[in-house]
Amino acid sequence: EQYKFNVLYHSRDFPPGYPIIESIVQAIKNSKRIIFVVTKKFCESFWCREEINIAFNHVKKRRRLLVTFLNGV
């Protein structure tokens, strides 16, 4: 709250019935910064891997992406 981050929750923020991939792309395009906290579970999820691929492709020139890896989680 101190830093005024907004967090995206797919269950809350993605419109029902709207294609997931389009929701992901739109959310990434609308973000000022993108932070991924990567865990083993994250890497096992198709949609999580897809999100990070889209983010990398979208922001590689703008340097707006921070990826943090957590071991043992």
Supply the pLDDT for residue 17: 92
Question: pLDDT tens digits, residue range 18-64?
Answer: 898 888 888 888 887 777 778 888 888 888 888 888 887 777 666 66
Distance CA 37, CA 48 (A): 10
Q: Bigger pLDDT: 15 or 66?
A: 15
pTM tops 0.75: no
Distance CA 2, CA 26 (A): 26
